[in-house]
Amino acid sequence: MTAHPSPLAVQDQSIQAWSWLADPLTCISTHPEGPLAGLSFGVKDVLDVQGMPTRYGAHFPDALPAQHDAACVAVLRRAGAIPVGKTVTAEFAYAAPGPTRNPLNLEHTPGGSSSGSAAAVAAGMVDFALGTQTGGSMMRPAAFTGIVGFKPSFGAIHRSGLFLLCDSLDTIGYFSRDLSVLRRVATVLQGLPDVKMPTCPRIGVLDGKDLGPITPAALAALEQGCLHLEQQGAQLERLPADPQLKELLILQGQIMAYEMARSLLPVWQASPNALRPITVQAIKQGLELPPADYHAWQARRRQLQTEWQDRYAHFDALLTPAAPGPAPYGLDSTGSSILNRPWSLLGWPTLSLPAPAQDSPLPLGLQLIGQAHQDAALLDLAVLLSPEQAH
């Protein structure tokens, strides 16, 4: 008898969000009374799932199944959620894109590097999915596929079982179509306390134009979001371009290049044919960066983290576009991360929410940014931009 492909495998033939799918007969909750019972999820293929191979988006056809879950997967499984497979990632969560297509238009990228996780959620294949962000690897895919994406504060989720590309930056986060599901996952993974939202939250608005070109559609969506927030009682302050934003962008790039090269050096030495040219070139370039410079960049980063914490402490959140525009055409690039990388460097929590897109055929996103370790407050504030998802 010929085995028939699972419904997920059939649905995925055009989208290609999955690098590995479990047999549906094995997808049974071991904790059916848990707070996430009945929810299915995908796992970016840089995180281990027991019984599933981890291939990192690279050429490892003979990878053996992982012996243990990543810590975050184990916590979710204990809460009753069911991992159904591994989602496509850009190679080692860097730049070489995978085959995944945007479910809203198959001719466009879903963003990256958490491409498969965002696409699987956007296509309704799972209730939520795990991703990671080093620069803009979650905010951009969430915006491009019209879903909600949350990157917690740096260090908020245990990283055991994650391949660490950049020890100073890598952060585990999650996607969902529904803010209420996202909050349930946050409660399980982060144990976030209940926070009373301010009656008149103060939000600083940065349009991001000083970082690079922003499309008129993205700027129009930002204005619509600002209008909506004001109607919800928020106090908005338009902020001038901060000259240090570009410095944050540069620092993030340098620290990432240095750490990534050293993280991937053992992989390159052991399996040189497993990596694509863009990854190998990045390793070579990163290895040329002097350790003394790296330590100076880290010292400057710590200084800026303190300065920015003080400078923007009177705001409940900052608001920017989540991406410079809608998903680019084609699959050769995953889009620009310039609007996300400064906050990844600072380690602040960020949330991408679907934005009004009257002038765009594809989704746009708005990015809410909170202070470090104020994740619960940021998720509560998100209700103002998604009032229909408040309950």
pLDDT tens for the chain, 391 residues long, are 345 688 899 999 999 999 999 998 888 888 889 999 999 999 999 999 999 999 999 999 999 999 999 999 999 999 999 999 999 999 999 999 999 999 999 999 999 999 999 999 999 999 999 999 999 999 999 999 999 999 999 999 999 999 999 999 999 999 999 999 999 999 999 998 878 888 899 999 999 999 999 999 999 999 999 999 999 999 999 999 999 999 999 999 999 999 999 999 999 999 999 999 999 999 999 999 999 999 999 999 999 999 999 999 999 999 999 999 999 999 999 999 999 999 999 999 999 999 977 777 899 999 999 999 999 999 999 988 875 544 3
Among 115, 137, 176, 336, the active-site one is: 137
Domain ranges of the chain: 1-391
Among 113, 336, 352, 360, the active-site one is: 113
Q: Which helix (H) or strand (E) holds 317?
A: strand 317-321
Residue 44 is a catalytic residue: yes
1-391 CATH, one of 3.30.70.270, 3.40.50.720, 3.90.1300.10, 3.40.50.12500: 3.90.1300.10
Residue 278 structure tokens: 């863009």
Residue 113 is a catalytic residue: yes
Residue 209 is a catalytic residue: no
Query: Of 29, 66, 64, which Cα lies nearest the Cα of 51?
Result: 66
Q: Which helix (H) or strand (E) holds 379?
A: helix 375-381
Among 44, 117, 153, 386, the active-site one is: 44
Burial of 159 (0-12, 13-18, 19+ CB in 10 A): middle
Please, what's the largest Cα pairwise distance for the chain?
Answer: 67
What is the number of other CB atoms lying within 10 angstroms of the CB of residue 89? Answer: 31
294 Cβ contact list (under 8 Å, min separation 6): 254, 255, 258
| DSSP letter for each residue of 32-98 | TTSTTTT-EEEEETTB-BBTBB--TTSS-TTPPBBSS--HHHHHHHHTT-EEEEEE--SGGGSSS--
